[in-house]
A = this chain, B = another copy of it.
């Protein structure tokens, strides 16, 4: 069973690339994106206030509008029950700002249960979070990178092979110190010993 999950949300969306064997979930209005892109969802969840009608099918899970969590949180719940550990989330940035913020909280949630999640914006922006780990990035990446502490402090932050490097420093959650870094053609490494870092770049 695939441990990878692709979630399509209702926000702005660019090119969708679903990895082979990934379990595809449409969260509400994400179904319109899937139909347009010719992507076949394995599961469809939501209150369907964005999509406008409740779709038919055995793979549809309908929730009330007045529910506790957003459709993207519900989609992740289903995927976690299924054992998924790696998440690519389209359409979760650049729409209503409360949904964008909820999706940043969602990245924290995924970290805290040992999973990896990446939000993909319509313009290629990617946002991920890492928790007590080191992530390596392809040397083919170009452009700017931002690194932010999502915990009050992030200790043991190490940044290698980016324009500005750091070795075992502490970042807090009320500084812009990690903004406006840049890839420079080498395999970049960003790591944290104790804390959650949010990392944003473009692909």
B-contacting residues of A (Cβ < 8 Å)? 66, 68-70, 72-73, 93, 96-99, 101-102, 105-106, 108-109, 112, 121, 125, 127, 144-146, 148, 150-152, 164, 173-177, 179-180, 198, 200
Integer count of this chain's copies in the complex: 2
User: What residue of chain B has the Cβ atom nearest to residue A125's Cβ?
Assistant: B97
Q: Is the pair A68, B177 in contact by a Cβ cutoff of 8 Å?
A: yes
9 new A-B pairs (CB below 8 Å) besides A98-B148, A98-B200? A68-B177, A70-B176, A70-B180, A72-B176, A97-B146, A102-B148, A102-B179, A106-B176, A108-B173
Q: Is the pair B200, A97 in contact by a Cβ cutoff of 8 Å?
A: yes
Chain B positions within 8 Å of A177 at CB level: 68-69
User: What residue of chain B has the Cβ atom nearest to residue A93's Cβ?
Assistant: B97
User: What residue of chain B has the Cβ atom nearest to residue A201's Cβ?
Assistant: B98
Are A101 and B144 CB-contacts (below 8 A) given A175-B109, A176-B72? Answer: no
A203 to chain B, nearest CB (A): 13
Chain B positions within 8 Å of A180 at CB level: 70, 98
Q: Can you list 19 contacts pairing A with B, beta carbon distance less than 8 Å?
A: A66-B164, A70-B180, A73-B175, A97-B125, A98-B144, A98-B179, A98-B200, A101-B148, A101-B179, A101-B198, A102-B146, A102-B148, A102-B176, A105-B173, A105-B174, A106-B174, A108-B173, A108-B174, A109-B175
> Could you tell me the distance between the alpha carbons of A69 and B97 in the complex, rounded to whole angstroms?
24
Q: Is the pair B146, A200 in contact by a Cβ cutoff of 8 Å?
A: no
